[in-house]
Amino acid sequence: MNSRSKIAWFVTGTDTGIGKTFVSCALLHALCARGLRTTGMKPIAAGIEADGSNEDVERLRAASSVRVERSLVNPYLLREPIAPHLAAAEEGIKLALPTIREAFDALTDLADAVIVEGCGGFVVPLDESHDTADLALCLDLPVILVVGMRLGCLNHALLTEEAIARRGLTLAGWVANRIDPQMLRFEANLATLEARIAAPLLGVVPHMPAGDPAKAASHLGLPP
């Protein structure tokens, strides 16, 4: 919950490509089902399609119930699908946290609930001195961690939990996203994370090749 008492969470992940956008969209559907006006936000996106759009940004906008300016949803769109500090440096762009904060504040005036999706993992560099953890701090948001359930996820999830705590942020909950349907000992790995992560498991999202976030929403709860 942010200072304006609106519903807002910062969604991060154990890595890139583990379903942050998919889960963020599912959360937007879950919030909308509760009668809330919703919007997603992707402050920094890297990778431009042929039509000038970014896939993650457009998916978040499609899952939102409030139509807002794309520049508020995505203040910074970088050309190359690479680490944001590298992409921004190549384009001579300064990723300014106050600019992102202004866009976020505008969104909280337009919607009841805002889901902010980070880029990559939790401490991806944004410039020589800031990373995505600083972005979550700037927005003063509790964090939802998406764990891509595959070999190696235990280490990634537990290290990310530690990093969130070190920055003084609240881990509001975590989501187990089954990105690898062939993962060995899935239930045992899930039980290990439940025992070690000191935050509620919000849901287990089954493997969904078609990627329907509305269906995924039925597998999710919301943080208390």
The gap from C-alpha 81 to its chain's centroid, in whole angstroms, comes to 17
* 19 is an annotated ligand-binding site residue: yes
49 CB neighbour count, 10 Å cutoff: 9
Among the listed residues 30, 218, 55, 205, the one whose alpha carbon sits nearest the alpha carbon of residue 115: 30
* 173 is an annotated ligand-binding site residue: no
Enumerate helices (H) and strands (E) in the chain, giving the number of each.
9, 8
* 119 is an annotated ligand-binding site residue: yes
* 93 is an annotated ligand-binding site residue: no
* 18 is an annotated ligand-binding site residue: yes
185 CB neighbour count, 10 Å cutoff: 10
* 138 is an annotated ligand-binding site residue: no
Among the listed residues 167, 145, 171, the one whose alpha carbon sits nearest the alpha carbon of residue 156: 145
Residue 31 is encoded by which pair of tokens?
């919030």
* 39 is an annotated ligand-binding site residue: no
* 56 is an annotated ligand-binding site residue: yes
6 catalytic per annotation: no
- Cβ atoms of 95 and 44 within 8 Å: the answer is yes
Among 6, 42, 94, 215, the active-site one is: 42
* 117 is an annotated ligand-binding site residue: yes
Report the b/e string of 122-160 with b at 16+ CB within 10 A.
bbbbbbeebbbbbbbbbbebbbbbbbbbbeebeebbbeb
Strand partners, 11: 117, 144
* 215 is an annotated ligand-binding site residue: no
- H or E stretch at 90: helix 84-91
* 180 is an annotated ligand-binding site residue: no
Q: Which residues make up each annotated binding site for Mg(2+)?
A: 21, 56, 117
Q: Which residues make up each annotated binding site?
A: 17-22, 56, 117-120, 177-178
Task: Point out the residues that are catalytic.
Answer: 42
